[in-house]
A and B are shown apart, each in its own frame.
Chain A
Amino acid sequence: MNPAAPRKGFVSKPKALNCPNCGSAIELRALGAAAGVICSYCSSTIDATNPQLQIIGTWKAAMTIEPAIPLGSRGKLKGVLWEAIGFQQRGIEVEGTNYFWREYVLWNPYQGFRYLSEYDNHWNFVTPLQVLPAPSMSGLVYANESYRSFQTARAYTWFVIGEFPWMVQVGEAVDTADYVKPPKMLSSETTENEVAWSQGEYIPGTEIWQAFQLKTPCPPPIGVYSNQPSPYVGRVRSSWLFYGAMCALLLCLMVLFATLAPNKMVLDKNYVVNPATTVEKSFVSDLFTLDGRNDNVEVRITADISNQWVYFSMALINEETGQAYDFGREVSFYSGSDSDGSWTEGGKTDDVLLPNIPGGKYYLRIEPETDPARAGGLKPRIPFRVRIVRGRPFYFRYFLGMFLLLIPPIWTSIRAGSFESKRWSESDPSGASSSNASSEDDE
């Protein structure tokens, strides 16, 4: 007769409920936890907290929607088993067009109520929040994270079915405000009597389909959603870090090869051009050896000239193989002074880099040519100096390489920026409300 150890309670399924309006049987999936129940046959909203099952209202819906997750389905999300017990479609009006989204009520007897909201096949797992977020410059701060204001709107309920923790009505209106920090979102819903806060976390549709084992094909999401995480966030940063590392690598290579470059002077000789001569103007240099299998050769000519040009037709000839590299270079220098002051044009030195020259014994054939029409002030003979260096280092191409390597991180940054533009294109411009939200009066 005495109560012994603490009793273990067992909550069994309530007996079948009959709609007080039309008499049809109503299944109570939340075993009585839900305050508002909609009869799926006659659409009456029933106050399930009242033992008399009072009817709150009946309504004629302008639309009937089939929930993607059938009511009564169970799925495991966040390590907890949930049952979908209620569904509603809500909408806002922006410039004459209605935008609808859908919400599911999930229930677990120990964890209570959660919600799944879906828009354009973007899904969010929503938890009611008891903590008040604190306002900040651009939105809110909660749990040390800053959320940016995204949108405010007045939302109307268009269609309801199943069970809800409150007595939901078609035509019910709330003022909503959304703040995002992808993948999370904070939302407030304001009615006359209270403000309710909730936190949403973006969840891909494929995860929902897998959790609830839905047989229908999972539709792809459309566009970018307010708190959809960007696939580029990590990639932008890592591609720029990699670029930095590559630049460092290229600089090291440049310095390395510059140090290893032979830079060997193989010929440094002075010659003379005699413009007045009538005999053969061309001549050849002494033999010199170019080391290595393949490398470049720099030919530098410095001519002591003034207000004239000298053209050198040259050929670098391999004495053994008979291979010649034919080229021509000009040295020209002019100077004078006028009303603006003194000026110069050109230079007394010219250098050219001959690439990809095999090693071997070489000589240089030079055929100089001067301007025949030039009169006055000409030196009859023009001394010039020829310097040949084997194996010069390359510099410019490394900077060109660093420029080419910029393309991928810039491309990634552009795509990331475009993703964010698409996200924010759906938001309220500079905080303005997208529909007529009535101002709240604090009495």
Chain B
Amino acid sequence: MSKFYMAYSMLVAGGLAVSSLTGWSPFKPYEKVDGVPKSVRNNPGAYRSHYAGHARYFGGK
């Protein structure tokens, strides 16, 4: 049980604590878009989502 294991463990534990505080995750299920004008609240249609319009596969047996 070496200093290396100790340091590695502290790194893991520290990383878990920090990410729990900041809500960080390596997965980013969103795309960030800057500079959305305040007018979108009144006119939602003016905003073009990157995720609009998707074709999908029909499930079911």
Contact = CB atoms under 8 A, between A and B. Distances in A.
A218 interface: no
Instruction: Give the most central of A284, A324, A332, A409: most B CB within 10 Å.
Output: A324
Contacts of B32: 323-326
A239 to B, nearest CB: 4
Given A323-B32, A334-B59, A367-B44, A404 B12 contact: yes
Interface in B23-39: 23-25, 27-38
Interface stretch (A185-193, A204-212, A249-257, A431-439): A249-257
Q: How large is the interface on A (under 10, 10 to 19, 20 to 34, 35 or more residues)?
A: 35 or more
B60 A307 contact: yes
A313 B47 CA distance: 11
B40 A328 contact: no
Contacts of A391: 23
B60 to A, nearest CB: 4
Contact of A394 (B19, B34, B53): B19
A168 interface: no
Interface in A235-250: 235, 238-239, 241-242, 246, 249-250
A336 B60 CA distance: 9
A338 interface: yes
B52 to A, nearest CB: 5
A346 B1 contact: no
A257 B17 contact: yes
Contacts of B13: 246, 249-250, 253, 401
B44 A314 contact: no
Contact of B29 (A307, A352, A371): A352
A425 to B, nearest CB: 27
B59 A327 contact: no
Interface of B: 1-2, 4-6, 8-9, 12-13, 15-17, 19-25, 27-38, 40-41, 44-45, 47, 49-54, 56, 58-61
20 contacts: A261-B20, A284-B44, A311-B56, A319-B38, A322-B35, A322-B37, A324-B33, A325-B31, A325-B32, A326-B33, A327-B29, A328-B51, A328-B52, A328-B54, A338-B61, A346-B59, A356-B24, A357-B23, A365-B40, A397-B16
